[in-house]
């Protein structure tokens, strides 16, 4: 009996040891290059890390100027995330909160800690036909060697490029190229092509670091949001009073 | 010897110090309201520690120039980020004496974004990381 217990214990230990490195591989698809894991943005969390922006056309140029003026005055406006609405695309790719990539046949799924958001990237044209613009749009992916190229359209006009409020129009197409450039590094080259709002396409190359020991935590924005947008359109602070 | 609760908290904070990486400050909303160029120190007594998302909050009573306690709201990052830096839901408790570095509100009202915990109940030995 004691021998059996020892054997069972050894088997359990062995399975635990082999399970640990496989934590992310469980969600990998042998038919795809492996980009699974928990990743976190490196660099500053404006759309481009150096804070440069696309050449904006009217009226988007004026809109962004108003937002930046309010931003610099410490009274940010039009920040829907303050009301716990989702950041959407492309903002979600340049937040500092980590995200997890899972790969299954025909699909790459990105699970974001920030507000528990999800991007579903359909491979081989398996995407649903959805006529309504959405926060994350409709994403179609294709493997080009070791790079996952993703084209996203059908994006709501009220999503922003980053937390400063970089605007875009409903004509935005986002083309991304995800590539694992090192075992612990993921690169996403993100191009915004928006002929209505931008004079020319605008690309930001971002890198994400692998965090093998991290898990994605729960994040319910509505739990205790004390930053709701106020009647004057400005993001609030410390409101409502302490909830219990 | 069983570690006391206080001791466990100090160990937790020491671990947090070890985990002090270049984690960027973050808010689920624009943090344009904070003056990140002029951090200031405030000292007072914790009234409430809200271990919640999207932000952890420290409500702290800080004496004004006349010595009258005034309530300040200090916004921290999310539960998950603080947990990864070694904080726990009982890292602060009502009644704790704290010294905090904060990025103050630009409009001068009583609040800001946590930069770091500088002192807890007179101890400077363990300073959890937050930038």
In chain A, the N- to C-terminal Cα span, in Å, equals 53
pLDDT in tens, B98-116: 999 999 999 999 999 999 8
Does the residue B102 lie in any domain?
yes
Does the residue B96 lie in any domain?
yes
Shortest CB distance from A45 goes to which of B24, B55, B80?
B24
* Interchain contact, A97 vs B26, CB within 8 Å: yes
Contacts of B55 in chain A (CB under 8 A): 224, 226-227
pLDDT in tens, A36-81: 999 999 999 999 999 999 999 999 999 999 999 999 999 999 999 9
Shortest CB distance from B30 goes to which of A97, A163, A219?
A163
Rounded to whole angstroms, the Cα distance separating A240 from A15 reads 49
Does the residue B125 lie in any domain?
no
- The yes or no reply on domain A23-210 and CATH 3.30.413.10 is no
The number of folded domains in chain B is 1
Contacts of B59 in chain A (CB under 8 A): 242
Grouping H, G, I as helix, E, B as strand and the rest as coil, residue A68 is helix
Its ipTM equals 0.83
pTM (predicted TM-score): 0.84
Contacts of A235 in chain B (CB under 8 A): 29-30, 32-33
* Full residue range of the structural domain in which residue B18 is found: 5-120
- The pLDDT profile of chain A, 244 residues, written as one tens digit per residue, is 455 444 445 444 444 444 444 455 567 888 899 999 999 999 999 999 999 999 999 999 999 999 999 999 999 999 999 999 999 999 999 999 999 999 999 999 999 999 999 999 999 777 777 779 999 999 999 999 999 999 999 999 999 999 999 999 999 999 999 999 999 999 999 999 999 999 999 999 999 999 999 999 999 999 999 999 999 999 999 876 445 4
Contact B50, B123 (CB under 8 A): no
CATH number of the domain bearing residue B22? 2.40.50.140
Nearest of A41, A5, A3 to residue A210 by alpha carbon: A41
The β-bridge relationship of strands A118-123 and B97-104 is unpaired
Distance to chain B for A74, nearest Cα, Å: 4
Contact A163, B30 (CB under 8 A): yes
């Amino acid at each position: 009996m004691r021998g059996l217990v020892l054997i069972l214990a050894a088997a359990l230990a062995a399975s635990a040891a082999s399970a640990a490195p496989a934590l992310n591989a469980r969600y990998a698809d042998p038919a795809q290059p492996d980009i699974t894991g928990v990743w976190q943005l490196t660099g500053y969390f404006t759309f481009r890390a150096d804070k440069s922006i696309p050449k904006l056309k009217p009226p988007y140029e004026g809109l962004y100027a108003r937002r930046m003026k309010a931003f610099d005055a410490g009274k940010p406006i039009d920040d829907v995330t303050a009301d716990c609405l989702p950041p959407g695309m492309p903002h979600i790719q340049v937040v500092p909160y980590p995200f997890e990539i899972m790969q299954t046949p025909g699909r790459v799924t990105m699970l974001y800690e920030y507000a528990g958001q999800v991007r579903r990237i359909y491979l081989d044209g398996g995407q649903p036909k959805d006529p309504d613009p959405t926060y994350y749009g409709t994403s179609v992916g294709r493997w080009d060697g070791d790079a996952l190229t993703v084209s996203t359209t059908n994006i709501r006009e009220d999503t922003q490029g980053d937390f400063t409020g970089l605007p875009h129009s409903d004509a935005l197409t986002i083309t991304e190229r995800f590539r694992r450039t090192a075992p612990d590094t993921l690169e996403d080259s993100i191009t915004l092509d928006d002929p209505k709002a931008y004079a020319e396409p605008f690309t930001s190359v971002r890198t994400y670091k692998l965090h093998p020991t991290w898990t994605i935590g729960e994040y319910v924005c509505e739990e205790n949001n004390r930053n709701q947008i106020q009647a004057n359109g400005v993001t609030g602070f410390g409101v409502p009073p302490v909830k219990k | 010897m069983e570690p006391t609760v206080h001791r466990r908290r100090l160990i937790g904070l020491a671990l947090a110090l070890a985990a002090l990486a270049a984690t960027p400050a973050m808010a689920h909303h624009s943090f344009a309201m904070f003056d990140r160029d002029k951090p200031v120190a405030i000292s007072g007594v914790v009234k409430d520690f809200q271990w919640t998302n999207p932000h952890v909050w420290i409500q702290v009573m800080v004496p004004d120039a006349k010595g009258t306690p005034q309530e300040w709201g200090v916004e921290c990052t999310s539960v998950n980020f603080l947990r990864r830096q070694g904080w726990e839901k009982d890292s602060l408790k009502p009644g704790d004496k704290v010294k905090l570095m904060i990025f103050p509100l630009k409009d001068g009202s009583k609040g800001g974004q946590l930069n770091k915990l500088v002192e807890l109940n007179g101890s400077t030995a363990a300073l959890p990381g937050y930038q």
